[in-house]
Amino acid sequence: MCSEKKRESCLPRREVIAYGLGDVSASLVWNAVSAFALLFYTDVALLPAAAIGTLFFVSRIVDAFFDVGIGLAVDRTLSRWGRARPYLLFGALPFGVFGVLTFYVPDIGSDARFYYALITYFVLGLLLSVITIPYSAMLPMMSNHSKDRIDLSAARSVATSLGVIVVTALFMPGVAYFGNGDQAHGFFVMGIITSIAATVLLLYCFALCKERVPAPPTEALNIKTDVLKMFKNRAWNVASGFALLNFIRFGALLSVTPYFAINVLKQPWMISVLLPTLSGTLLVGAFLARPLLNRFGIVKADTWALIAGFICYAALPFFEQQPAVFITLYVASSLFISITMTSIYAMASEAVDFHQHWFGTRQEGLLAAGVSLAIKIGMAFGTAGVAYALAWGNYDPSAVSDSAAQAISLVYYALPLVIFALQGVLIQCYPASTLLSNTHR
């Protein structure tokens, strides 16, 4: 296990990179779905927006509670590969297969196509839980030193941004290239490419990452007691609430940006600028976040980042006709907010130590599942909210009305500002990390 003496890191650099690549795996498939599934279902599979909104919402809510079961299972798993790693090994291939099937349009009636979409989207979400809950739980299992965990959190943020950059920048051009006029074929080919890459990277993460922190004695399963303790953990409450709000915004922007660029800005080319920027700034932000979080702490760093991000984003509506200024402000806002994205993983990791400090048990799997539940519910509200807004505005891909354009603008501009404000209030409730000065430091 790592020495407690001061040092930059006790983890091999290749292991830190391998851990990050595990998140690239999930990002390639799931962010392709998050960003383009709504467009795929409404404009290619020709399914009604309101029905897809309900599909997104119900699937993600059910899936979110499935996360808790996976988390409890991780905490009680004993294998030669450890507690978390076997889920990465056995979940990789099924996750890739359903990543392909989700972007396939079978030649069947519209009702049957909807049920096919429901099944494939729902199963893909469950498989995402099977790999991402253990993946998240594995971070505090790899080291009990805060600097290592910030390094791993930063690697994960970098990886998340790389995955989303690649998907959002190349997916739609890939659809056009491979489809050659047939969007359905283009989506299917890009689904194959992203899913193969995701499967390989997930297996690489499994092979190189190691679990070092000894597992506490396995307790008898008591779901009620364990869950009640989780909700009494103030660090977890803030981390999960912060994640919930962030991913409502993130999910909504991923889904609404293509519609916004095409129908409001009248600049379709900006899809391949705004979406990669949304996540690309995470790459830079992860490097900025590491020294800022170490020096100023989570609360101060996040507070100032949210204030700066709010100011830049609030100026966007005034520069719709000036793409260069619009993009500059958007990049600045996204860069500030990316600092808070990195802090989510750091907070989630610290919540495990707070749990042991207060209750005597670590519960890595359950706490990771709880944060993932918040993320899934956030994405559900964000993506479903966009679909419902399109339905409310009577969106028709063949002729977009003024009411539809107004609904798209409202989601794009107002929702993020409200969320930034709520996050600024919530982060003030995060407990001081000095409480952990005598534990695992």
Summarize pLDDT for 17-75 with one digit per residue, the tens. Answer: 888 888 888 888 888 887 788 888 888 888 888 888 888 888 877 876 787 788 878 87
Is the pLDDT at 308 greater than 90, yes or no?
A: yes
CA distance 385 to 406: 14
Which residue in this structure is represented by tokens 């805060």? 146
Which residue in this structure is represented by tokens 């899936």? 63
For residues 80 and 156, the answer to whether their CB atoms sit within 8 Å is no
* pLDDT value at residue 441: 38
pLDDT tens, position by position, 198-233: 999 999 999 888 888 776 655 555 667 777 777 788
* pLDDT value at residue 222: 63
* pLDDT value at residue 53: 85
Torsion sign (Cα): 85, 90, 95, 100 = positive
pLDDT tens, position by position, 367-378: 777 777 787 788
Per-residue pLDDT band for 123 (boundaries 50, 70, 90) equals very high
Burial of 387 (0-12, 13-18, 19+ CB in 10 A): buried
Per-residue pLDDT band for 7 (boundaries 50, 70, 90) equals very low
Contacts of 271 (CB under 8 A, 6+ apart): 168, 172, 257, 258, 261, 262
Is the pLDDT at 184 greater than 80, yes or no?
A: yes
Bigger pLDDT: 144 vs 125: 125
Is the pLDDT at 157 greater than 90, yes or no?
A: no
* pLDDT value at residue 327: 93
**Portion of the chain with pLDDT greater than 90, in percent:** 26
Per-residue pLDDT band for 433 (boundaries 50, 70, 90) equals low
**Portion of the chain with pLDDT greater than 70, in percent:** 91
pLDDT tens, position by position, 230-275: 778 888 889 889 989 998 998 899 889 988 998 889 888 888 788 8
pTM of the model: 0.69
Amino acid present at 273? V
Mean pLDDT over all residues of the chain?
83
Bigger pLDDT: 44 vs 357: 44
Per-residue pLDDT band for 434 (boundaries 50, 70, 90) equals low
- Tokens at residue 260, please? 């916004």
C-alpha R_g of the chain: 21
